[in-house]
Structures are given as C-alpha cells and as structure tokens.
A and B are shown apart, each in its own frame.
Chain A
Amino acid sequence: MVNCKGIALISFAILGLMIYSCDPLVNKFDDTEDAKMYTAKNIQTPPNNIDTFIFMTWNIRFGVARIPWFGDCCGNKVIVAKSDVHQNLENIANFINEVRPDIIFMQEVDIESKRTAYIDEVQWLLDNTYFNYGCYASMWEAQFIPSDGLGRVNTGNAILSRWKIEEADRIQLPLRGDQDALTEYFYLRRNLLKAKIAVPGIDDFYALDVHLSAFSTDDTKQRQLDRVIEELETLDNTKFVIGGDFNLIPPGSDSTDFCDEDKCAGESFHGPNDDPMHKEGSYFTPEINWLQVMYYNYSPAVPHTDYISDQEHYFTHTPEWDGFWNRKLDYLFTNMNWITGTDSTYQNITFENSLSDHVAVSAKLEVENGK
C-alpha cells in the first residue's frame, strides 16, 4: 500500500508554501500602517537654504484627464489606453515642472489599476519631475472589482517631495456607513497619509494628504473629518501642512445643492416620487458647516473672506466632463501662516489643457514662520 504519511507531509509542505505567498482579494488595511515609500530614479539635489515653500494639492483623477469616465460624470469610458494615460501624465508633469511646488499632495493616483494600464503613476511622476521622494497610501486595493469591467484597482493618496520623507503612515478613516456589507467589502477605504519630511528650516515638519468620501449620504464625512482633526491635534507642538480633496464645500457657499447640474440623462431628483431625493455626492446642504472647524483652527491657503467675496474664482471641481468649475472641494491648511496673496487656483490652465476634473491649488509658506 501507499505511504500515506509521505503524501500528507508533501501536501502540507506545498500548502504552507502557497498560503504564505498569497494575498487577500481586497486589502482591508490596519488602523495605522506604513505607507509605501518611493524614490526617484535620478535624485536631484534639493536646496538647503530656502526662503519660501510652495505647497500644492491636486486630485489628478488617476491621469485620465477629463474623459467621460463612467464612475463620476455620466460617461461610458472605463479602461483607458496606455498611450492616453502616458500623454495625460506627461501633461500633468509639464504643469508641475512649470509651477514647481516643493511638496505636492495628490489624490486619486493609480499605482496598479487596469483602468490606467497598470502604470505606477507615483513612480512615473517622480521619474518625470524634479521630485525626489514620494509616499503612497492606497484607498482602494482590490485584486478584482467585478463591476463595469474595472478589474484590478490600486489607487490612493500620494505626497511627492524634494526632500527626504523620513517616515510615512497610512491612517484609516471611518468607512461609509450607508452601504450594505458586500458593497462595503469591495468599496473604497479612505485614508489620511501622514509624512514626516526633512524640510530645511523647520524642525519636525509633517505633511498630511487627505481625500474624504465623495458619495456618502450620511455623516461619514463628518466622522472622517473628526478623525483627521484628532490626528492634527497630536501635532500641536510641530508644524504641519494638510492638503487634499475634502469633498466638502466652504461654509457660506451660495450653492449647496448640485443635483440638477450633476444629474445624468434619465435621472430625476427633488420630485415627490424621486428616490433618492438627492444625487449622491451632489447635495452639500446638510454638510455646509462641517469644514468650519478647519477654518477656525487652522490657516487656509485661500482665506474664507476671499472665497466668500468671489466664490467662482476659487472653484476647483466639476463632475461635468466638459463643463467649467462650479464648486470648491480642494484645500490647503496649516498651523503656520501662508504668505498673503500667494495662493493660486489654476482654473484656466487645468481646464484648457484638460488635465483633471479637479483644479490644482497652491500657496507659499514662509520658512521664518515655521521656526
């Protein structure tokens, strides 16, 4: 007869080898874990003496420019050709190389997604700009999303810096509370990316990059913002800049309900028989004061009074793939002080060159203020 022990031992050995080498279908992430670190192919010596820093935040829409993508603008495109992604990244890099921010906060950066030909966009941007170091925190890492042909996805927040990133953490934000368990399992897991960067002239300096929930219909964004503020409060004795796509409009905004502007063909909202009554991600009325705490506790790159006096000038986003900007979602805040009048909201160049569905926002910070 056979030697059963031999077969069993061999089978267990093979099984052990296999289990050790396999990944879960969807990465659910720990509460806090190390961010993925990057280094540019060619390091360019950064300046050691610098008077001012330029910070920029930009949701680059995973490098697909302003195509009618299925997920966010009533479009039908899902998987973008590799050549198109490369061209869009080239345009993004050209813009960055022209403005030359010292540290950039990016959202919706793909590193291994079928929709963007599996290009590692963090590495690509590092290798095609003057930035030397990067860190990345995924908000959506799944081996396969069985919907709309999306397939494999790995997208998230990234910080690029001229100076060395000494450490970086991915901090999990609360999940959406308005989804069923199955949808939640396959859905995005938003995060706060926190990086300690060795910038000259400021002793412990932290850069934080955040992207809050876009389509939640409950208090998810409030809970996520609470977690962000909790983290910022631990940095009371250090200096920091936080940038990102907060998916919230400033308090006092004239327009708070974009359901009609954003609706796709065949959709109807606000009617007595409409369910849902409001379009997901387009109804900000109940959330209008949620950002108040950020304006109150920290210094915004675009002062609130400036925004209120000329709101259109500071709009950073529209879900219409061919429309002009109609709301502000992207912000820079610090516990230092911005240099007055140095903020820029690059509406025209982003629109004319079709770079993203979000506008880049930048501002200057004086080094002396940071000491």
Chain B
Amino acid sequence: MANKNIIRYIGILIILIGMNSALVSDEFSANQNWSSGTAYLLPVKRYEIGLFQPLRYGLSETRELSLHPIFAFVSPNLNLKLAHDKLGKLQFASDHGINYPTILMNLISREGTGGIISPEFEIPHMISIYNGVILSKPLGNYHLITVKAGFNFALKFGELDKRTTIDLPLVFPRLNVFYNGYGFRSGCDLKGKIFKKWFYLADIDVFYFPGADEDFAFEHKGLIQWNKSKKFQLCFGYKLSYCNYPFGSQWHLLPAFDIQFAKQLKTKK
C-alpha cells in the first residue's frame, strides 16, 4: 500500500517536472560551471566546494575528481567522473566512487551525548563501491535535464550487526548497502535559469535494495540558487525524503541550504 503511494507520488513529481520543463523557452546555453549532478564536467583546473557539497576538481577535459573534505579523514571517500563520447544529443559520463565509513561509524558508536550507534557494537572494516552512468540533455537554452543510474555494492571484513543501523533520513539509504550487500540508485535532475542570476534545481533520487526488508528510499530536492558570479553561489530550498526504515516507512521534510565557492586555477596555454 505504502509502495503504491510512493509510486503515485513519484508519478506526480515526474509529471510536475515534465510540466515544468514544458513551460520553458529555448534560449539556454549549457555551462560547465556549477555542473554538479550532471553529465558535464568542470573546466580543467576549476574547483568548486560547498558547506555541504563535496570538493570537486576538474582534472582534465574528461576526468573530474570529488570528495567530501569534512569527512575525508573519518570516512575516506573519492569519486571520479569520466566524460565519454556524446550519445547523439546526450552528454554522457560515468561516475565511480568508493567510501570507507568504518572510522566515522566507530567514532559515533559511543556512550553519552553524540552516541548515534550503541557503543556495545564494533563496526568492521568495510567499503562501498559505486559505478553509474549519467546522461544530460539541454532543454532549450536555459534548462538541462539529467538522468542517472548506478549499482552500489559493499565489501565487509567482519560481521556488521543489524542493530547498528542509523535510522535517519538521508543517512539510512546511504548506509543500507552495507547491511544488504548491494543496491541500485537512480535519479533525475532538472536545473535551469529563472531570471538573471537566479537558477533552480529539482531532483529525484531513488534507492532500491533487492531482498532487504527496508528496500526502498526516495528523495527529492528543490533548490533556488543565486549565482552571484563564477566564484560564488548561494542555494536554499528543501529536501524531501521517504524511506523504508526498520520501524516502517516515514516522510521527512528538511531545509536545504548551501554556500558554494569556486576558483579557476591557471592553466598552461
């Protein structure tokens, strides 16, 4: 019953996004700056970073690296986005990531305030590996639609007790791969210009873990972005989450806010 509702909501959202894109004109010119979540890569030697966004760096015309610097020491992670030949009018990239959350999870497995995981459990060494594809297509001159899909799997070097799950929105679906062993993730982004320096972003992410009791999660984000310059951007909006947790299903609505900075390092001519 709950899943039927979810499918209904997803359907409504896709229709809304479709309507949204139909409302736009055709004056858009794609730009590789602020291209997070799309099949476009950053310009070479440009980096972008946000309070809650990973540090992204344009390594070459076909490679982009990203990592979450805040978590880098306690949850080492690295993502590589590779640009591939266009598929017709579609910009095509692949996304490859690795994450080692053991240190962080053991850090928050503690007594007293801040104890997110019970200290009675030991978190084993484990890594997750993600591989996915991203396709982007401009809709006119001012809008861009992106679809993505990927496969995530985990390698564990010890027993991970199911009682260590962190049953919180955004967190649970991202760690569920360690409890289920593997999972799929897909999504759709729509971004574009509203007027002058104001942009919007609406996205949907779906997580699916075949065989798990908690097999489904859905997230939607709506952001307004103020693109002051090529070097600075403010974002605010909301994040909606629906997830099957160990206790059942629940919706959450969270505020979303970010300050993003960018810099273009000098390139050899």
Residues of A whose CB lies within 8 Å of any CB of B are 1-4, 6-7, 10-11, 13-15, 18-19, 21-23, 70, 76-79, 81, 112, 114, 117-118, 144, 146-152
Q: How far is A194 from B61 in the complex, measured between Cα atoms in Å?
A: 70
> Can you name 11 extra interface pairs (CB under 8 A) apart from A2-B192, A18-B238?
A1-B193, A10-B16, A14-B16, A23-B250, A70-B111, A76-B120, A79-B121, A81-B163, A114-B167, A117-B246, A147-B113
A22/B252 contact (C-beta < 8 A), A7-B200, A10-B19, A15-B238 known: yes
Q: A119 → chain B, closest Cβ, in Å?
A: 10
Smallest CB-CB separation from B254: which chain A residue?
A: A22
- B161 to chain A: closest CB distance in Å? 8
CB distance from B15 to the nearest CB of A (A): 10
B207 lies within 8 A of chain A by Cβ: no
B259 CB, nearest partner CB in chain A, Å: 21
Interchain residue pairs A-B with the least CB separation, the first 6: A149-B118, A78-B118, A3-B23, A118-B247, A18-B253, A79-B163
B112, B119, B247, B252: the one contacting A152 at CB < 8 Å is: B247
- Interchain nearest-CB distance for A83 vs B (Å): 12
Q: Evaluate contact between A2 and B142: CB separation under 8 angstroms.
A: yes
Question: A112–B247 contact, CB under 8 A?
Answer: yes
Q: Mark B165-185, 1 if CB is under 8 A from A, else 0.
A: 011100000000000000000
Is B73 part of the binding interface, using a Cβ–Cβ cutoff of 8 Å? no
Contact in complex: A148, B111 (CB < 8 Å): yes
A77 to B246 CA separation, bound complex (whole angstroms): 20
Partner of A3, one of B24, B110, B168, B251: B24
On whether the beta carbons of A76 and B119 are closer than 8 Å, the reply is yes
CB distance from A291 to the nearest CB of B (A): 33
Known: A2-B25, A19-B253, A149-B115. A14 touches B20 (CB 8 A): no
* Known contacts A7-B194, A149-B119; is-contact A2 B252 (Cβ 8 Å): no
Query: Which residues of B line the A interface, CB within 8 A?
Result: 13, 16, 19-20, 23-25, 27, 109-121, 142-143, 163, 166-168, 192-195, 200, 220, 222, 238, 240, 246-248, 250-253
CB pair B194 A144 closer than 8 Å: no
Query: Do residues A2 and B222 form an inter-chain contact, with CB atoms below 8 A?
Result: no
In the assembled complex, which residues on chain B have CB atoms less than 8 Å from the CB atom of A10? Answer: 16, 19-20
Q: Are B27 and A1 in contact (CB under 8 A)?
A: yes
Q: Which residues of A have CB within 8 Å of B200?
A: 7
A73 to B120, CA, bound (A): 16
Chain A: minimal CB distance from B246 (Å): 6
Q: Which residue from chain A places its CB closest to the CB of B242 in the assembled complex?
A: A21
Task: Report Cα–Cα, A350/B248, bound state, in Å.
Answer: 33
**Least distance between B118 CB and chain A CB atoms (Å):** 3
Contact B194 A147 (CB under 8 A): no
Residue of A nearest to B198 (CB): A4
Question: Is the Cβ of B222 less than 8 Å from the Cβ of A14?
Answer: yes
- Compute how far the CA of A70 lies from the CA of B167 in the bound complex, rounded to whole angstroms: 20
**Bound Cα distance from A2 to B116, whole angstroms:** 44
Residues in chain B near residue A77, CB distance under 8 A: 120
Contacts of B110 in A (CB 8 A): 148
For this complex, 15 residue pairs linking A to B, each with C-beta atoms less than 8 Å apart, are A1-B195, A2-B25, A3-B24, A6-B23, A10-B20, A18-B240, A21-B253, A78-B119, A118-B246, A146-B113, A147-B114, A148-B112, A148-B118, A149-B109, A149-B121
Please pick, from B113, B118, B238, the residue contacting A79 in the complex, using a CB distance under 8 A.
Answer: B118
Q: Do the beta carbons of A14 and B13 come within 8 Å of each other?
A: yes
Per the bound structure, the CA–CA distance linking A240 and B111 in Å amounts to 43
Min CB gap A188→B, angstroms:
16
Q: Contacts of A4 on B, CB cut-off 8 Å?
A: 194-195
Residues of B within 8 A of A7 (CB): 20, 23, 194, 200
Residues of A with C-beta under 8 A to B143:
2
